[in-house]
Amino acid sequence: MLFEESNRLKSIPPYLFAEIDKIIKKKKEEHIDVISLGIGDPDTNTADAIVKELCKEASNKENHRYPSSYGHKVLKSAAARFYKKRFGINIDPENEVLPLWGSKEGIANIAYVYVNPGDLVLVPDPCYPVYKIGTMFAGGTTYAMPLTEENDFLIDFSKIDENAAKKAKLMHLNYPGNPTSAPCSVNFFDKLVDFASKYEIIVCHDNAYGDIYADDEHKPVSFLNAKNSKDVGIEFYSLSKSFNMTGWRISFAVGNDAVIKSLGKYKSNVDSGVFNAIQHAAAVALDNYEELIDLNNKIYNRRRKKVWELLDKIGFKYYKSYNTIYIWVKVPEGYDSASFAKALLDKSNVVVTPGSAYGSYGEGYFRISLTIDDCRLEEALDRMKNVF
């Protein structure tokens, strides 16, 4: 028996990586060694102190009951302490923090909170696909804000159509960004606040990579560092990448109290909150962020340099960013991003992500992820070098 999907599910665009997935599956069935540089999933373990806290709190029977949809005070307080120490921002833990099942959940759900059918949402291009998909599921439409290398992959607010700005309910953005790895300054965020204030747009900043950086010179800022930023929006802070906690599904939204309250109201009707033991463990991560982040960044800095050296040797041009777990590389002449990714897989059994998977302005690039063991990364780079 066949069951028809909803129109919203059927409207999801074709998965560009589907053909490559088929090739990977076939190669693995033939026992061919495939190395993936395509997925941003940290390969190093979650810190022992975080795991121990989880185990301890999982033994507490009080944590076996339904958690609050609005979050446990232990994580909300830790988030406020973290934002004060890391970014110098005062946060009200009770009214300006909301724990989430990972930022992906919050980003998708914020559309249901504010977007009515036909409403407009501003999204960068290229971008994390959930910005578009969440909007589409809520019945909204998206307006693309092009990110170009000539402008350091920063949004040019002056080029946003005024009619679109007047209609927009939300704006999604992400710095340091996926897939481009581009950072931004407080000055950029100040301009963003001015733009959002003028057109009464809610800003949703995805701070998934804010603590992956080479050194203090390249240490990212928060959207909330901008003057009056809490008046216009929120920031999603994820523990997934910075603390090697992708599978834990834990993050939080922080910022405008009215937006936090409304998102919490939605969540209280569709879920029962994050397991309290995980929230306790996340609090330990945030309270020890300096030590834990430093360990991670040493690993990514080493890997980033290795990839840069290889790309320089084979003559591939790339955007030189000292942030995130990604490197954004231009495809060589004669290819588009999808055909290059397929050719690389065919010739060297190495997987990269085609830039067009993130939007039309991602065409001409591919993304390399640094979340792979050093030895396997070196082997993948050697294979690429031998082919190109």
More confident residue, 274 or 24: 274
Q: Which fold has domain 48-287?
A: Aspartate Aminotransferase; domain 2 (3.40.640)
- Is there a contact between 103 and 208 (Cβ–Cβ < 8 Å)? yes
* Percent residues over pLDDT 90 in the chain: 91
- Run of H or E residues at 27: helix 18-29
Backbone angles phi, psi at 247, to 5 degrees: -75, -10
Task: Please give the structure tokens belonging to residue 280.
Answer: 């306790």
**Position 26 pLDDT exceeds 90:** no
Residue type, 86: R
- Picking from 361, 365, 381, the residue whose alpha carbon sits closest to that of residue 373 is 381
Q: What is the Cα–Cα distance from 133 to 111, expressed in whole angstroms?
A: 10
Backbone angles phi, psi at 30, to 5 degrees: -90, 10
The domain 7-45+291-387 is placed in CATH, from the list 3.10.520.10, 3.30.420.80, 3.40.1350.10, 3.90.1150.10, at 3.90.1150.10
Per-residue pLDDT of 145-172, as tens digits, reads 999 999 999 999 999 999 999 999 999 9
* Prediction pTM value: 0.96
In sequence order, the 6+-apart residues with CB closer than 8 A to the CB of 231 are 193, 197, 256
Task: Please give the structure tokens belonging to residue 285.
Answer: 């991560």
- Where do the structural domains in the chain lie, given as residue ranges? 7-45+291-387, 48-287
**C-alpha Rg value of the chain to the nearest Å:** 21
pLDDT at 96: 98
What is the mean predicted confidence (pLDDT) over 338-363? 95
The owner of tokens 């050093």 is 374
- Is there a contact between 337 and 365 (Cβ–Cβ < 8 Å)? yes
Q: 15-19, long-range: CB within 8 Å, 24+ apart, which pairs?
A: 16/338, 16/354, 16/356, 16/357, 17/353, 17/354, 17/357, 19/338, 19/342
What is the mean predicted confidence (pLDDT) over 236-259? 97
Please tell me the least confidently modeled range out of 20-34, 82-96, 114-128, 330-344.
20-34
